[in-house]
Amino acid sequence: MTTPPLTGLRVLELARILAGPWIGQLLADLGADVVKVEAPEGDDTRKWGPPFVEGTGEEHLSAAYFHAANRGKRSITADFRTAEGQALVKRLAAHADVVVENFKVGGLEKYGLDAASLRKQFPQLVYCSVTGFGQDGPYAPRAGYDFLVQGMGGAMSITGEPEGAPMKAGYAVADIYTGLYATVGILSALRQRDTTGEGATLDLALLDSQVAVLGNQAMNYLVGGNPPPRLGNAHPNIVPYDVFPVADGHIIIATGNDGQWRKLCEVLGEPALADHPDYLDNKSRVKNRVALTAKLHLLCQRYAKADLLAGLEKVGVPAGPINDIGEVFADPQVIARSVRVDLPSAAAKAGHIPTVASPIVMNGVRQVAGRPSPRLGEHADDILNDPAWSGPAR
């Protein structure tokens, strides 16, 4: 069996909800020993249901939301407000490589658990703070929430139909992208520590991450000077690249070049449309998107979904269905790639807890932790008696 790449790395997670735990989960998937320190009442998301994972007894095993971001970890509880709780965290920090926390700016300082305090005592630590708006700037004291940041960070201004209300994404993009960026930062800091022997302090903000992933839309503004509008499902720079109605529903057609455009017209039975001067190249199609989109709607509605998708696939025009999440997990490609993993759990009624695996496949092995999310305080004795987390400090 292949040894996971981060085997031997010790991570102390003082985080809850989503962005911080997402970091810990990804590091656990890659083999790190992640100790999650929870308040005595537990991570808030344990109660964010239904649905809840059913246990073998009367008690459930926490909400599905909690299990989305906490597999592979060990749980211990500590009350940061008490001297005993603070001492426990410091004891664990002495043996950690990485600390992850997502308290408000200054929230851990009064307990002596902030970056400056812990890194002064343990300079080898890579200490990662995740906040809504960062450690400085006028918004630094504010609490940050994914929904608010999607709005403040520009994402909602380009999401939704042109005449409709601004719309957030259907999942927590700011939280999850911040978790991913933070993980990259942590791994980079660890690589630097290999050279210098010194840890690092990382400052990750939801707002920074949300603005960063605006990608080409941000560049469209910075270069063109005009804030991009909402275009529904259309692409600001490529046409046709949209959702189109068919006889029995909708499909996505995503032409990326003029050759694919020509093939699309042939499949739709209108090859001459590709040579129309208004649609001859992408620049022309973007300029005349309204008229062209209307024509394509009429043409696509003559075909059944399966027939048109098959025809487009045959000639190499990118197209696909719009699956609900149930259809996603029934998709043969998703099944073949083992994206869903059932992690054994004697405490679960089903005998296992389902999870969505990390998308990282290394040397043919999908990187996913082998155990499900922990019950509250489940591993306290194991952690306190684990030689890796006791004895002399690093």
Residues designated as active site: 175
Backbone dihedral angles phi then psi of residue 342, each to the nearest 5 degrees = -100, 115
- What is the C-alpha separation between 336 and 87, in angstroms, rounded? 47
Question: ω before 236 within 30° of 0 (cis)?
Answer: no
Beta pairing, strands 319-320 & 249-254: antiparallel
Burial group, residue 206, by CB count within 10 angstroms (0-12, 13-18, 19+): buried
- Cβ atoms of 35 and 41 within 8 Å: the answer is no
Q: What is the DSSP string of 231-248?
A: -TT--SS-SSEEEEEETT
The 3-state secondary structure of 299-362 reads: HHCCCCHHHHHHHHHHHCCCEECCCCHHHHHHCHHHHHCCCEEEEECCCECCCEEEEECCCCEE
Q: Which residue has the tokens 């017209």?
A: 265
- What is the C-alpha separation between 364 and 152, in angstroms, rounded? 40
State the first-to-last Cα distance of the chain, in angstroms, to the nearest integer: 29
Burial group, residue 41, by CB count within 10 angstroms (0-12, 13-18, 19+): exposed
- Cβ atoms of 45 and 69 within 8 Å: the answer is yes
